[in-house]
Amino acid sequence: MDRVVIFVLCFCLFIGGATHIFDNLYYGFLPYKFAPEWVNIYWTALAVIDIVAVYLLVKWRNAGLVLTLVIMLSDVAINSVAFYSLNVLSDSSALQLQTLFLGFCIGSSIWLWQSKSKANVVNVT
């Protein structure tokens, strides 16, 4: 079951990273001209950071879980500011899906972290 959850996390992060890579290739570097520069830089950086998180989830699970949580917490926070305060996003559906995925990340990270630590415990009896 751990592998299925890791796959879902990796798949979603890969789709996010691929979307940002596409935007950078198709529209040029820093493609989100409608947003403030700091948001544009953050969204552009996600092209690399999302893919790094996928790699870490596969190679070093706990490091990948920490990076995934940092990505999703910051992404939901920044996208919330972009939608509710800056009004640079016209549709909240992506934000709602990201918030749902953040909840999945938090719940599964707690479970996967504990699962990994239990797998490393050696019974000495």
Residues in contact with 55: Cβ distance below 8 Å, sequence separation at least 6, in sequence order? 64
Whether the Cβ atoms of residue 77 and residue 42 lie closer than 8 Å to each other: no
For residues 58 and 5, is the Cβ–Cβ distance under 8 A?
Answer: no
Sequential pLDDT tens for the chain (125 residues)? 889 999 999 999 999 999 999 999 999 999 999 999 999 999 999 999 999 999 999 999 999 999 999 999 999 999 999 999 999 999 999 999 999 999 999 999 999 987 765 554 445 55
Alpha-carbon gap, residue 81 to 94, rounded angstroms? 14
